[in-house]
Amino acid sequence: MKDTAYLFASKVDQQIEALSCLEYFMRRARGKVLLEENLPISRLGLHLKQPGLEVEVEAYENNNKDKEPDGHI
């Protein structure tokens, strides 16, 4: 998933809102990826965003956990 900082954060927020209570609190499968990987990178992208500066955030869905990052800003 790749988008501008605002749109990426909005999509992550919508996906988190769509999680069931079990997925949210137990942090399994999709909930774990959203809350522990995508949410922090989306917030860092928003923190780096300044007027006149384009910030793109990209998160990798199926990456090798040992060698590759969760995403790029």
Strand partners, 2: 58
Decide: helix, strand or coil at residue 71. strand
Q: Where are the domains of the chain?
A: 2-72
Q: Can you give the pTM of this predicted structure?
A: 0.84
Helix (H, G, I), strand (E, B) or coil at 37: helix
Share of the chain above pLDDT 90, in %: 58
Q: What is the pLDDT of residue 27?
A: 86
Structure confidence at residue 61 (pLDDT): 74
Report residues of the chain scoring pLDDT below 70. 63-67
In one-letter notation, the amino acid at residue 63 is N
pLDDT at 65: 63
